[in-house]
Amino acid sequence: MPDTNPSPDRHLVGRAIADITGEAAEVGMLGYGKADQKTTGIHLRLRSRAFVFADPLVDRRVLLVVNELPLIFSSITQEVLRRLAQRFGDTYTESNVMLTATHTHCGPGGYSHHRLYNGSTGFRPETFAAIVDGIIEAVERAHEDLAPATLRLAHGELRDASVNRSRAAFDRNPREEKDFFPDAVDPQTTLLRIDRDGEPIGAVNWFATHCTSMSNRNTLISGDNKGYAAYHWEHVVEGVNYLADPDPDFVAAFAQTNAGDMSPNLDGRPGAGPTGDEFENTRILGMRQYEVAAKLAAGYMPRMAGSIDYRSVHVDLSAVTVSAEFTGDEREHRTGRPAGGAAAFAGAGYDGPTHWKSFREGRNPGWDLLSRLAYRFAPSLRDAQAPKSIVVPGGLVNRIGPYVQEIVPVQLIQIGELYLLGVPGEVTITAGLRLRRTVAAVLGAEPANVLIAGYSNAYIHYVTTPEEYDEQRYEGASTLFGRWELPALQQIAAQLATAMRDGTTVPSATKAPDLSGSQRPAKATPPLDFPPVGHDFGDVLDEPAPAYRAGEQVKVDFAGAHPNHDLHRGSTYLMVQRRDEDRWRTIADDSDWTTTFRWSRGPASSSRITIVWRSPADATPGSYRIRYFGDAVPTGSDRVPIAGTSPEFRIHNDDSGN
């Protein structure tokens, strides 16, 4: 519907995209905690999408960066803020910058400064640099893109893209909260649409479901279901060419919210639901998120009023005294030093159990007994952490080395009528509801307009309600700071909201230490490259067939090199090309859903590159070829670019081969 409000735009908005894909081979993936899940290639490149929202009337702006990453750590936030300060002075600070992750479990790890998350990788400078460089690139482009824009907000419902993976814990919550979520899922999907000169130029969608459609058996880098949703809207619908369009006409981010207990695996087991194919499930769950967002975007969306504002605070979550107003039992309590429970080592059954077979969700009798003995002699520990069966006393381990973070940022930003509470953890839907209501009550806002921006700025694992915590499922056992962690965050959220409402500042506090100087990079230099005996780099080892019917899969193997020599950030390792009269036209690269780029080690330090293209059912008949691009470091030589081209093959759309 046309906008009947002729008033000029109040806000300025800039938006941009950049590539943040890390090392594509032999790097442990982050998310499932499975040591042997290491990268072997790319299915979908990972992207950073930056949005600057400014209100010139009050001279304030916020920067929202949605990243297709497993997690955001303080390592990334600190370095990004350092680089932004060098480039823009005090324009972008820890208070008005929100870095958030979609929580894909199919991205390379090794970019944290806390040891727990680098266990199977060590610290990987190349992946760290790819992430930071990409984020900075996206922010610089968004900053330059700033121009008058209209902001529009709408809410919808999506009920077939998530399932509660910890129903026993959810069912412990009060009846009123369970009635609010009758299907034990949070169906709210929220869309912020950005218009310029009457045309949509961007959108940010929030919906709660884990990015775990791809299972822990997958080793190809992928943005998972939210990555596919963004790719589909931008590339398939709007025609964005990621290689050719550094400043695209449309940017769509699918952001995460309170997804702590929300799984996309609708059949209750990893990689299952709605089909038995995890790649197809990723596409379907992404499409469902896109379709609801697109329907909202195509309907009537009222223009948003309101200003831009922000507040943030650093909190030592291991030592928060929580007033009786928030604890629920009319008593004051205190959070405790971080501790991992037995069920945390079991993993989440719906999404991917860990390799620790001796642990399970719920009760773990041996560890239960040991913890009960400890609680008997430590009343303060018992009040904070019981009934958790403590396996790893994180506070004690932190004295040996920085394993988990204790001082973390909590943030509240206002974008017109929308409020985002930045929490550095995985918040369950009921915990999210309590936080949202806390903020809404202080600000007098519509509760639907207050969202949890989980996975923001740092990482503390999970946030459950005290009732859910008592069940000690995976999420409760991973609520590191104990039973009163959520009430502590509610108290902090109320303080931020009160300061925003009253126009006051939030007292400064001690920040998390910068650990960049204490990192020891992993021994990650790729080996020297040798082509297979009898071949040169770029040779085709396994040729395509002469012809394929449209919709069939084309596979080509090349004599290649280790992909970590050059990450090809902002570029590609492959191209699928169609002959167009006297020229070759590129129709797909390694960022396309239809392609996969896979590396494997061959004999005598050689590398085999397998490129697969699933030709679309409506592919244009004609002559095609597949090209490979890499970088080799032969003996006694610097890095040199290499390339290979397959023989031509034909795509036809009938049985005759025409």
The answer to whether 288 touches 228, Cβ cutoff 8 Å, is no
Distance CA 267, CA 286 (A): 17
Instruction: Retrieve residue 400's tokens.
Output: 């040996």
Return left, alpha or beta for 273; rule: phi > 0 is left, psi -120 to 50 is alpha, else beta.
Answer: left
- Answer yes or no: 263 catalytic: yes
Among 377, 493, 371, which residue's Cα sits nearest to residue 424?
493
Q: What is the dihedral of CA 612, 617, 621, 626, to 10 degrees?
A: -10
The answer to whether 478 touches 462, Cβ cutoff 8 Å, is yes
Among 289, 333, 336, 343, which residue's Cα sits nearest to residue 316?
336
Instruction: Retrieve residue 128's tokens.
Output: 């760290």
Instruction: Label residues 617-634 b or e (16+ Cβ within 10 Å = b).
Output: eebeeeebbbbbbbbbbe
Distance CA 461, CA 472 (A): 14
DSSP 234: I
DSSP 450: E
Count Cβ atoms within 10 A of the Cβ of residue 596 and give its class: 0-12 exposed, 13-18 middle, 19 or more buried. Answer: buried
Instruction: Retrieve residue 57's tokens.
Output: 């009337």
The angle subtended at Cα 108 by Cα 539 and Cα 190, nearest 5°, is 120
- Chain centre distance of CA 244: 25
Helix (H) or strand (E) holding 74: helix 74-88
The answer to whether 228 touches 252, Cβ cutoff 8 Å, is no
Q: Exactly one of 162, 263, 371, 607 is catalytic; which is it?
A: 263
Q: What is the dihedral of CA 440, 460, 468, 254, to 10 degrees?
A: 60
Helix (H) or strand (E) holding 370: helix 365-377
DSSP 233: I
| Active site (catalytic) residues | 263
